[in-house]
Homo-oligomer: A and B are copies of this chain.
Protein backbone atom coordinates (compact mmCIF):
# COMPACT_ATOMS: atom_id res chain seq x y z
CA UNK A 1 0.00 0.00 0.00
CA UNK A 2 1.43 3.31 -1.01
CA UNK A 3 -1.28 5.69 -0.02
CA UNK A 4 -0.59 8.03 2.84
CA UNK A 5 -2.33 6.55 5.85
CA UNK A 6 -4.51 9.25 7.29
CA UNK A 7 -6.75 8.28 10.15
CA UNK A 8 -10.33 7.82 9.03
CA UNK A 9 -10.45 7.79 5.25
CA UNK A 10 -13.41 9.36 3.51
CA UNK A 11 -16.16 6.77 3.02
CA UNK A 12 -16.42 5.21 -0.45
CA UNK A 13 -19.24 3.61 -2.36
CA UNK A 14 -17.86 0.30 -1.19
CA UNK A 15 -18.25 1.24 2.47
CA UNK A 16 -21.83 2.31 1.93
CA UNK A 17 -22.51 -0.87 -0.02
CA UNK A 18 -21.22 -3.07 2.77
CA UNK A 19 -23.25 -1.27 5.39
CA UNK A 20 -26.41 -1.42 3.31
CA UNK A 21 -25.77 -5.00 2.21
CA UNK A 22 -26.01 -4.24 -1.47
CA UNK A 23 -23.61 -4.05 -4.36
CA UNK A 24 -21.48 -1.03 -5.08
CA UNK A 25 -23.36 -0.36 -8.28
CA UNK A 26 -26.70 -0.22 -6.52
CA UNK A 27 -25.38 2.51 -4.28
CA UNK A 28 -24.11 4.32 -7.35
CA UNK A 29 -27.58 3.98 -8.84
CA UNK A 30 -29.17 5.48 -5.76
CA UNK A 31 -26.73 8.36 -5.78
CA UNK A 32 -27.14 9.13 -9.47
CA UNK A 33 -30.65 7.92 -10.13
CA UNK A 34 -29.51 6.31 -13.39
CA UNK A 35 -31.36 3.01 -12.92
CA UNK A 36 -34.59 2.56 -10.98
CA UNK A 37 -34.05 1.09 -7.52
CA UNK A 38 -36.73 -0.52 -5.39
CA UNK A 39 -38.10 1.81 -2.74
CA UNK A 40 -37.07 -0.38 0.20
CA UNK A 41 -33.50 -0.71 -1.08
CA UNK A 42 -33.20 2.93 -1.87
CA UNK A 43 -34.20 3.81 1.66
CA UNK A 44 -31.75 1.40 3.20
CA UNK A 45 -28.94 2.74 1.03
CA UNK A 46 -29.87 6.32 1.79
CA UNK A 47 -29.69 5.60 5.51
CA UNK A 48 -26.23 4.10 5.06
CA UNK A 49 -25.13 7.14 3.06
CA UNK A 50 -26.32 9.48 5.77
CA UNK A 51 -24.81 7.37 8.52
CA UNK A 52 -21.37 7.36 6.95
CA UNK A 53 -21.60 10.89 5.63
CA UNK A 54 -20.71 9.62 2.19
CA UNK A 55 -19.85 12.10 -0.50
CA UNK A 56 -18.87 11.09 -4.06
CA UNK A 57 -15.22 11.35 -4.99
CA UNK A 58 -15.36 13.82 -7.80
CA UNK A 59 -11.88 12.99 -9.02
CA UNK A 60 -12.86 9.39 -9.63
CA UNK A 61 -16.16 10.39 -11.15
CA UNK A 62 -14.40 12.79 -13.44
CA UNK A 63 -11.93 10.13 -14.49
CA UNK A 64 -14.71 7.69 -15.24
CA UNK A 65 -17.29 9.94 -16.85
CA UNK A 66 -15.39 12.98 -17.90
CA UNK A 67 -17.62 15.16 -15.69
CA UNK A 68 -16.99 16.49 -12.23
CA UNK A 69 -19.90 18.73 -11.36
CA UNK A 70 -17.55 21.67 -10.92
CA UNK A 71 -17.57 24.86 -12.93
CA UNK A 72 -15.17 27.79 -12.78
CA UNK A 73 -16.24 31.40 -12.36
CA UNK A 74 -13.72 34.09 -13.19
CA UNK A 75 -13.92 37.84 -12.81
CA UNK A 76 -11.32 40.48 -13.60
CA UNK A 77 -11.55 41.95 -10.14
CA UNK A 78 -13.30 39.97 -7.47
CA UNK A 79 -13.31 42.54 -4.68
CA UNK A 80 -15.13 44.98 -6.95
CA UNK A 81 -18.51 45.10 -5.33
CA UNK A 82 -20.38 44.41 -8.54
CA UNK A 83 -18.43 41.23 -9.23
CA UNK A 84 -18.51 40.04 -5.63
CA UNK A 85 -22.26 40.48 -5.49
CA UNK A 86 -22.71 38.72 -8.81
CA UNK A 87 -20.40 35.92 -7.68
CA UNK A 88 -22.57 35.18 -4.68
CA UNK A 89 -25.59 34.89 -6.94
CA UNK A 90 -23.79 32.55 -9.32
CA UNK A 91 -22.69 30.33 -6.46
CA UNK A 92 -26.24 30.20 -5.17
CA UNK A 93 -27.69 29.47 -8.61
CA UNK A 94 -25.16 26.70 -9.17
CA UNK A 95 -25.86 25.14 -5.81
CA UNK A 96 -29.55 24.97 -6.69
CA UNK A 97 -28.69 22.63 -9.57
CA UNK A 98 -26.13 20.65 -7.59
CA UNK A 99 -23.05 22.24 -9.07
CA UNK A 100 -19.98 23.49 -7.25
CA UNK A 101 -18.23 26.70 -8.25
CA UNK A 102 -14.53 27.41 -8.30
CA UNK A 103 -13.78 31.09 -8.19
CA UNK A 104 -10.91 32.80 -9.87
CA UNK A 105 -9.63 36.29 -10.35
CA UNK A 106 -7.97 37.12 -13.65
CA UNK A 107 -7.01 40.73 -12.99
CA UNK A 108 -8.27 41.41 -16.52
CA UNK A 109 -5.08 39.89 -17.88
CA UNK A 110 -5.73 38.38 -21.33
CA UNK A 111 -3.34 35.49 -20.67
CA UNK A 112 -5.09 34.61 -17.41
CA UNK A 113 -8.46 34.90 -19.12
CA UNK A 114 -7.39 32.62 -21.94
CA UNK A 115 -6.10 30.11 -19.42
CA UNK A 116 -9.47 30.09 -17.70
CA UNK A 117 -11.41 29.94 -20.95
CA UNK A 118 -9.34 26.90 -21.91
CA UNK A 119 -10.19 25.19 -18.64
CA UNK A 120 -6.54 24.90 -17.73
CA UNK A 121 -7.14 26.39 -14.34
CA UNK A 122 -8.06 22.97 -13.14
CA UNK A 123 -8.46 19.80 -15.17
CA UNK A 124 -11.47 18.84 -13.14
CA UNK A 125 -13.59 21.65 -14.52
CA UNK A 126 -16.66 20.95 -16.66
CA UNK A 127 -17.30 24.47 -17.83
CA UNK A 128 -16.49 28.11 -17.33
CA UNK A 129 -18.34 31.34 -16.69
CA UNK A 130 -16.03 34.19 -17.54
CA UNK A 131 -16.36 37.93 -17.39
CA UNK A 132 -13.66 38.99 -19.84
CA UNK A 133 -11.88 42.31 -19.74
CA UNK A 134 -8.67 42.18 -21.73
CA UNK A 135 -9.44 39.18 -23.90
CA UNK A 136 -10.03 39.76 -27.59
CA UNK A 137 -11.79 37.63 -30.17
CA UNK A 138 -8.67 36.32 -31.90
CA UNK A 139 -7.04 35.29 -28.66
CA UNK A 140 -10.16 33.52 -27.49
CA UNK A 141 -10.27 31.53 -30.73
CA UNK A 142 -6.82 30.19 -29.99
CA UNK A 143 -7.80 28.47 -26.78
CA UNK A 144 -6.21 25.09 -26.47
CA UNK A 145 -9.19 23.18 -25.17
CA UNK A 146 -12.78 23.87 -26.07
CA UNK A 147 -14.74 23.50 -22.91
CA UNK A 148 -18.25 24.87 -22.49
CA UNK A 149 -18.01 28.60 -21.91
CA UNK A 150 -20.47 31.32 -21.01
CA UNK A 151 -19.37 34.93 -21.13
CA UNK A 152 -20.72 37.64 -18.89
CA UNK A 153 -20.85 41.26 -19.87
CA UNK A 154 -20.78 43.43 -22.90
CA UNK A 155 -17.59 42.33 -24.64
CA UNK A 156 -18.52 40.85 -28.00
CA UNK A 157 -16.01 38.07 -28.61
CA UNK A 158 -17.78 36.62 -31.60
CA UNK A 159 -19.89 33.49 -31.91
CA UNK A 160 -17.59 31.27 -29.85
CA UNK A 161 -19.64 31.14 -26.69
CA UNK A 162 -23.01 31.96 -25.19
CA UNK A 163 -23.18 35.34 -23.53
CA UNK A 164 -25.38 36.94 -20.87
CA UNK A 165 -25.40 40.71 -20.62
CA UNK A 166 -27.74 43.61 -20.04
CA UNK A 167 -28.54 46.21 -22.64
CA UNK A 168 -25.89 48.79 -21.86
CA UNK A 169 -27.02 51.25 -24.48
CA UNK A 170 -30.57 51.24 -23.16
CA UNK A 171 -29.39 51.47 -19.54
CA UNK A 172 -27.14 54.42 -20.21
CA UNK A 173 -29.85 56.11 -22.23
CA UNK A 174 -32.45 55.62 -19.51
CA UNK A 175 -30.36 57.06 -16.68
CA UNK A 176 -29.20 59.97 -18.83
CA UNK A 177 -32.79 60.70 -19.75
CA UNK A 178 -33.59 60.72 -16.04
CA UNK A 179 -31.00 63.48 -15.55
CA UNK A 180 -32.54 65.46 -18.36
CA UNK A 181 -36.01 65.00 -16.88
CA UNK A 182 -34.71 66.32 -13.56
CA UNK A 183 -33.75 69.53 -15.33
CA UNK A 184 -30.00 69.07 -15.75
CA UNK A 185 -28.72 70.36 -19.06
CA UNK A 186 -24.93 70.47 -19.06
CA UNK A 187 -24.28 66.78 -18.59
CA UNK A 188 -20.85 65.14 -18.52
CA UNK A 189 -19.91 61.47 -18.73
CA UNK A 190 -17.04 59.78 -16.92
CA UNK A 191 -15.84 56.44 -18.25
CA UNK A 192 -14.65 56.96 -21.80
CA UNK A 193 -11.31 55.32 -22.50
CA UNK A 194 -8.79 56.68 -24.95
CA UNK A 195 -7.10 54.93 -26.65
CA UNK A 196 -8.67 51.46 -26.90
CA UNK A 197 -12.02 51.86 -25.20
CA UNK A 198 -13.61 48.70 -23.81
CA UNK A 199 -16.99 47.59 -25.09
CA UNK A 200 -18.53 48.87 -21.86
CA UNK A 201 -17.26 52.37 -22.55
CA UNK A 202 -18.46 52.36 -26.13
CA UNK A 203 -21.93 51.10 -25.39
CA UNK A 204 -22.57 53.33 -22.41
CA UNK A 205 -21.30 56.31 -24.34
CA UNK A 206 -23.63 55.47 -27.20
CA UNK A 207 -26.60 55.35 -24.84
CA UNK A 208 -25.51 58.62 -23.28
CA UNK A 209 -25.19 60.28 -26.68
CA UNK A 210 -28.51 58.99 -27.89
CA UNK A 211 -30.31 60.36 -24.85
CA UNK A 212 -28.74 63.80 -25.19
CA UNK A 213 -29.40 64.03 -28.90
CA UNK A 214 -32.94 62.79 -28.39
CA UNK A 215 -33.49 65.76 -26.10
CA UNK A 216 -31.97 68.19 -28.56
CA UNK A 217 -28.80 68.63 -26.50
CA UNK A 218 -25.33 68.53 -27.98
CA UNK A 219 -22.45 66.42 -26.73
CA UNK A 220 -19.52 68.57 -25.62
CA UNK A 221 -16.25 66.70 -26.12
CA UNK A 222 -14.76 68.56 -23.15
CA UNK A 223 -17.30 66.83 -20.93
CA UNK A 224 -16.01 63.35 -21.76
CA UNK A 225 -12.77 63.02 -19.79
CA UNK A 226 -11.15 59.63 -20.46
CA UNK A 227 -10.20 57.29 -17.61
CA UNK A 228 -7.66 54.51 -17.31
CA UNK A 229 -9.80 52.01 -15.44
CA UNK A 230 -13.12 51.88 -13.61
CA UNK A 231 -12.11 52.28 -9.98
CA UNK A 232 -12.75 55.05 -7.50
CA UNK A 233 -9.49 56.95 -8.13
CA UNK A 234 -10.20 57.09 -11.85
CA UNK A 235 -13.58 58.62 -11.16
CA UNK A 236 -12.12 61.09 -8.69
CA UNK A 237 -9.41 62.35 -11.01
CA UNK A 238 -11.77 62.64 -13.99
CA UNK A 239 -14.12 64.64 -11.82
CA UNK A 240 -11.34 66.99 -10.77
CA UNK A 241 -10.57 67.66 -14.42
CA UNK A 242 -14.23 68.40 -15.11
CA UNK A 243 -14.43 70.82 -12.20
CA UNK A 244 -11.50 72.80 -13.51
CA UNK A 245 -13.42 73.66 -16.68
CA UNK A 246 -14.50 77.29 -17.07
CA UNK A 247 -18.03 76.13 -17.74
CA UNK A 248 -18.40 73.11 -15.50
CA UNK A 249 -21.19 70.51 -15.89
CA UNK A 250 -24.27 70.42 -13.67
CA UNK A 251 -24.56 66.63 -13.84
CA UNK A 252 -22.31 63.63 -14.44
CA UNK A 253 -23.17 60.16 -15.64
CA UNK A 254 -20.44 57.75 -14.50
CA UNK A 255 -20.14 54.48 -16.39
CA UNK A 256 -20.05 52.48 -13.18
CA UNK A 257 -20.75 53.00 -9.50
CA UNK A 258 -17.11 52.99 -8.42
CA UNK A 259 -16.35 55.84 -10.81
CA UNK A 260 -19.40 57.62 -9.40
CA UNK A 261 -18.22 57.12 -5.82
CA UNK A 262 -14.83 58.55 -6.72
CA UNK A 263 -16.53 61.46 -8.47
CA UNK A 264 -18.67 62.01 -5.40
CA UNK A 265 -15.56 62.32 -3.32
CA UNK A 266 -13.90 64.75 -5.71
CA UNK A 267 -17.03 66.90 -5.76
CA UNK A 268 -17.05 66.90 -1.99
CA UNK A 269 -13.38 67.89 -1.84
CA UNK A 270 -14.11 70.77 -4.19
CA UNK A 271 -16.74 71.98 -1.77
CA UNK A 272 -19.68 71.21 -4.03
CA UNK A 273 -23.00 69.90 -2.78
CA UNK A 274 -24.52 66.88 -4.53
CA UNK A 275 -27.10 67.05 -6.06
CA UNK A 276 -27.70 70.79 -5.59
CA UNK A 277 -24.52 71.99 -7.25
CA UNK A 278 -23.97 68.91 -9.38
CA UNK A 279 -25.80 65.63 -9.87
CA UNK A 280 -23.98 62.31 -10.09
CA UNK A 281 -25.36 58.97 -11.28
CA UNK A 282 -23.74 55.58 -11.72
CA UNK A 283 -24.27 52.13 -13.17
CA UNK A 284 -24.42 48.66 -11.53
CA UNK A 285 -26.31 49.33 -8.29
CA UNK A 286 -23.72 47.92 -5.93
CA UNK A 287 -24.80 47.70 -2.32
CA UNK A 288 -22.59 50.63 -1.40
CA UNK A 289 -24.52 52.93 -3.72
CA UNK A 290 -27.37 52.87 -1.28
CA UNK A 291 -25.15 53.93 1.62
CA UNK A 292 -23.11 56.57 -0.13
CA UNK A 293 -23.49 60.16 0.98
CA UNK A 294 -25.62 61.18 -0.76
CA UNK A 295 -27.11 57.85 -1.85
CA UNK A 296 -26.45 57.16 -5.50
CA UNK A 297 -28.89 57.03 -8.41
CA UNK A 298 -27.85 54.16 -10.66
CA UNK A 299 -28.80 51.55 -13.25
CA UNK A 300 -29.63 48.25 -11.53
CA UNK A 301 -29.17 44.99 -13.42
CA UNK A 302 -30.99 41.99 -11.95
CA UNK A 303 -27.94 40.14 -10.67
CA UNK A 304 -29.83 37.12 -9.48
CA UNK A 305 -31.48 36.67 -12.84
CA UNK A 306 -28.20 37.12 -14.72
CA UNK A 307 -26.55 34.46 -12.57
CA UNK A 308 -29.47 32.11 -13.00
CA UNK A 309 -29.40 32.45 -16.79
CA UNK A 310 -25.64 32.03 -17.04
CA UNK A 311 -25.66 28.83 -15.02
CA UNK A 312 -28.64 27.39 -16.86
CA UNK A 313 -27.06 28.20 -20.20
CA UNK A 314 -23.75 26.61 -19.24
CA UNK A 315 -25.37 23.46 -17.91
CA UNK A 316 -27.27 23.02 -21.15
CA UNK A 317 -23.96 23.02 -22.97
CA UNK A 318 -22.23 20.73 -20.53
CA UNK A 319 -25.03 18.22 -20.56
CA UNK A 320 -25.30 18.56 -24.33
CA UNK A 321 -28.98 19.38 -24.09
CA UNK A 322 -28.20 22.29 -26.39
CA UNK A 323 -25.61 22.23 -29.10
CA UNK A 324 -26.76 24.94 -31.47
CA UNK A 325 -25.19 28.27 -32.38
CA UNK A 326 -24.06 30.56 -29.57
CA UNK A 327 -26.80 32.49 -27.85
CA UNK A 328 -27.01 36.07 -26.67
CA UNK A 329 -29.24 36.56 -23.64
CA UNK A 330 -30.34 40.00 -22.49
CA UNK A 331 -32.20 40.28 -19.19
CA UNK A 332 -33.69 43.62 -18.14
CA UNK A 333 -32.63 46.40 -15.78
CA UNK A 334 -34.17 49.16 -13.64
CA UNK A 335 -33.14 52.76 -13.00
CA UNK A 336 -33.02 53.27 -9.23
CA UNK A 337 -33.46 56.94 -8.38
CA UNK A 338 -31.84 58.10 -5.13
CA UNK A 339 -30.58 61.34 -3.59
CA UNK A 340 -27.61 62.08 -5.84
CA UNK A 341 -29.75 63.21 -8.77
CA UNK A 342 -32.88 64.69 -7.24
CA UNK A 343 -32.36 68.27 -6.18
CA UNK A 344 -35.51 70.25 -5.79
CA UNK A 345 -34.94 72.35 -8.85
Contact = CB atoms under 8 A, between A and B. Distances in A.
Interface in A298-318: none
B101 A88 contact: no
Interface string A110-131: 0000000011111110000000
A10 interface: yes
A320 B68 CA distance: 26
A88 B102 CA distance: 12
A8 to B, nearest CB: 6
A265 B58 CA distance: 48
Interface string A220-264: 000000000000110010000000000000000000000001101
A287 B79 contact: yes
A217 interface: no
A19 interface: no
Given A88-B79, A291-B236, A8 B59 contact: no
A336 B264 CA distance: 22
A180 to B, nearest CB: 27
B84 A100 contact: no
A70 B288 contact: no
A158 to B, nearest CB: 18
A153 interface: no
Given A63-B60, A236-B291, A55 B146 contact: no
Contact of A102 (B55, B101, B146): B101
B10 A145 contact: yes
A308 to B, nearest CB: 16
A107 B194 CA distance: 41
A19 to B, nearest CB: 15
B291 A10 contact: no
B145 A53 contact: yes
Given A232-B291, A265-B291, A79 B81 contact: yes
Contacts of A7: 146
A293 B268 contact: yes
A48 interface: no
Interface of A: 2-4, 7-8, 10, 53, 55, 57-60, 62-63, 65-66, 68-70, 78-79, 81, 84-85, 87-88, 91-92, 100-105, 118-124, 144-146, 232-233, 236, 261-262, 264-265, 268, 287-288, 290-293, 295, 320
Top 4 nearest A-B pairs by Cβ distance? A58-B123, A100-B122, A232-B291, A79-B84
